[in-house]
Structure 1
Amino acid sequence: MKRFLLIFTIFAALFAYGNDLNDARRRVWNEYKASLPEILPAPMPLDSACGGSWVIPDSLEADAVMDFFFGIKGQAERYPLFIYLHGSGPRDYEWATGLKLASIFDDAPSAYFIPRIPREGEYFRWYQKGKQWAWERLLRAALASDFIDPSRIYLIGISEGGYGSQRLASFYADYLAGAGPMAGGEPLKNAPPENLANTPFSLRTGADDAGFYRNLLTSYTAAALDSLAAADSAGRYALHLVELIPGAGHSIDYRPTPLWLSQFSRNSSPRHLTWEDFEMDGRRRDSFGNLKIISRPEEAEGQRTRYDLNIHDNEISLTVNTVTYTCTERDPHWGIELKFQKEMHPARGGKVKIYLDEQMVDLSRPVRLTVNGQEQFNGLLTPSESTLRESATDFGDPTRLFPAALTTK
Structure 2
Amino acid sequence: MATDLYRQNVQSDVMNGVYVATRGIADTWDTHFRSQSYTLLQRLIRNLLLQRPQLDKFKSITTVAPNFVDPNRVYILGFSAGGDGVYRLASVLSDRFAAANMSAGHPGKAKLINLANVPICLQMGEGDSACGRNTSIVTAGKELKRYRHGKYYINDIFIHFTPVSAGDPHNSWERTEELTNIEAPVIRDWENFTGAGSVPTREMRNTCAVLWMSEYIRNPLPKTVVWDMSTSEAPPEFPAEWGKYRYYYWLAVEQNPTDSKGTTVRATYDKVRNEVWIGETSNLLTKFIVLLNEYMMDLRQPVNVIYGPQRKVTQSVTVTRDGNIQKATLSARGDPFYVFSAAIVVDLKDPKLMTVKDGGSDIFSTVPKAKL
Common topology (TM > 0.5):
yes
What does the per-residue CA deviation read over 1:240-272, in whole Å, with 9 as the maximum and x for residues that have no partner?
112222346423222201111012111111110
Instruction: Calculate percent identity across the aligned residue pairs.
Output: 24
Amino acid at match of 2:277: S
Quote the Cα distance in structure 2 between the aligned partners of 1:388 and 1:157.
Answer: 34
Quote the Cα distance in structure 2 between the aligned partners of 1:355 and 1:153.
Answer: 22
| Structure 2 partner of 1:308 | 266
1:101 aligns with 2:9: yes
Q: CA deviation at 1:107?
A: 2.9
Quote the Cα distance in structure 2 between the aligned partners of 1:113 and 1:297.
Answer: 36
What does the per-residue CA deviation read over 1:301-330, in whole Å, with 9 as the maximum and x for residues that have no partner?
xx50001001222221114533xxxxxxxx
| Structure 1 partner of 2:152 | 236
Quote the Cα distance in structure 2 between the aligned partners of 1:119 and 1:306.
Answer: 30
C-alpha spacing 1:120/1:296, structure 2 compared with 1 (3 Å): closer
C-alpha spacing 1:119/1:365, structure 2 compared with 1 (3 Å): closer
Checking the alignment, whether the CA contact within 8 Å between 1:197 and 1:273 is kept in structure 2 is yes
1:257 aligns with 2:209: yes
Amino acid at match of 1:305: T
Q: CA deviation at 1:365?
A: 3.1
Alignment equivalent of 1:204, drawn from 123, 126, 130: 123
Matched position secondary structure for 1:408: strand
Quote the Cα distance in structure 2 between the aligned partners of 1:178 and 1:167.
Answer: 14
Checking the alignment, whether the CA contact within 8 Å between 1:297 and 1:351 is kept in structure 2 is no
1:368 aligns with 2:284: no
What does the per-residue CA deviation read over 1:330-366, in whole Å, with 9 as the maximum and x for residues that have no partner?
xxxxxxxxxxxxxxxxx43531111012232233433
What does the per-residue CA deviation read over 1:198-253, in whole Å, with 9 as the maximum and x for residues that have no partner?
11111111122211111111011111111111xx3x5212x211222234642322
| Structure 2 partner of 1:148 | 69
Alignment equivalent of 1:112, drawn from 19, 26, 33: 19
Matched position secondary structure for 2:70: strand
Checking the alignment, whether the CA contact within 8 Å between 1:156 and 1:180 is kept in structure 2 is yes
Quote the Cα distance in structure 2 between the aligned partners of 1:186 and 1:308.
Answer: 22
Checking the alignment, whether the CA contact within 8 Å between 2:10 and 2:210 is kept in structure 1 is no
Q: Which structure 2 residues correspond to residues 327-346 of structure 1 after superposition, within 5 A?
A: none
| Structure 2 partner of 1:24 | none
Matched position secondary structure for 1:111: coil
Q: CA deviation at 1:387?
A: 1.9
1:403 aligns with 2:341: yes
C-alpha spacing 1:224/1:213, structure 2 compared with 1 (3 Å): same
Quote the Cα distance in structure 2 between the aligned partners of 1:280 and 1:266.
Answer: 27
Quote the Cα distance in structure 1 between the aligned partners of 2:232 and 2:250.
Answer: 20
Amino acid at match of 1:111: V
Checking the alignment, whether the CA contact within 8 Å between 2:263 and 2:284 is kept in structure 1 is no
Provide the aligned length of Structure 1 versus Structure 2: 282
Quote the Cα distance in structure 2 between the aligned partners of 1:246 and 1:99.
Answer: 22
Q: CA deviation at 1:376?
A: 5.8
Q: Which structure 2 residues correspond to residues 118-129 of structure 1 after superposition, within 5 A?
A: 118-122=25-29, 125-129=31-35
Quote the Cα distance in structure 2 between the aligned partners of 1:305 and 1:320.
Answer: 10
Quote the Cα distance in structure 1 between the aligned partners of 2:258 and 2:267.
Answer: 16
Quote the Cα distance in structure 2 between the aligned partners of 1:169 and 1:361.
Answer: 28
Q: Any gaps of 5 or more consecutive residues in structure 2?
A: 52-66, 164-168, 180-207, 239-245, 348-372
Matched position secondary structure for 2:329: helix
More helix, by proportion? 1
Quote the Cα distance in structure 1 between the aligned partners of 2:135 and 2:285.
Answer: 38
C-alpha spacing 1:121/1:314, structure 2 compared with 1 (3 Å): closer
| Structure 2 partner of 1:133 | 39
Matched position secondary structure for 2:74: strand
Amino acid at match of 2:18: A
Matched position secondary structure for 2:71: strand
| Structure 1 partner of 2:92 | 171
Matched position secondary structure for 1:223: helix
C-alpha spacing 1:349/1:110, structure 2 compared with 1 (3 Å): closer
Checking the alignment, whether the CA contact within 8 Å between 1:221 and 1:242 is kept in structure 2 is no
Runs of 4+ with deviation above 4 angstroms: none
RMSD: 2.3
More strand, by proportion? 1
| Structure 2 partner of 1:391 | 329
1:288 aligns with 2:245: no
1:357 aligns with 2:278: no
Quote the Cα distance in structure 2 between the aligned partners of 1:268 and 1:261.
Answer: 16
C-alpha spacing 1:149/1:280, structure 2 compared with 1 (3 Å): farther
Matched position secondary structure for 2:338: coil
| Structure 1 partner of 2:363 | none
Q: CA deviation at 1:381?
A: 2.5
Amino acid at match of 2:320: T
Quote the Cα distance in structure 2 between the aligned partners of 1:392 and 1:118.
Answer: 26
| Structure 1 partner of 2:132 | 213
Matched position secondary structure for 1:197: helix
C-alpha spacing 1:387/1:118, structure 2 compared with 1 (3 Å): closer
Q: CA deviation at 1:98?
A: 4.4
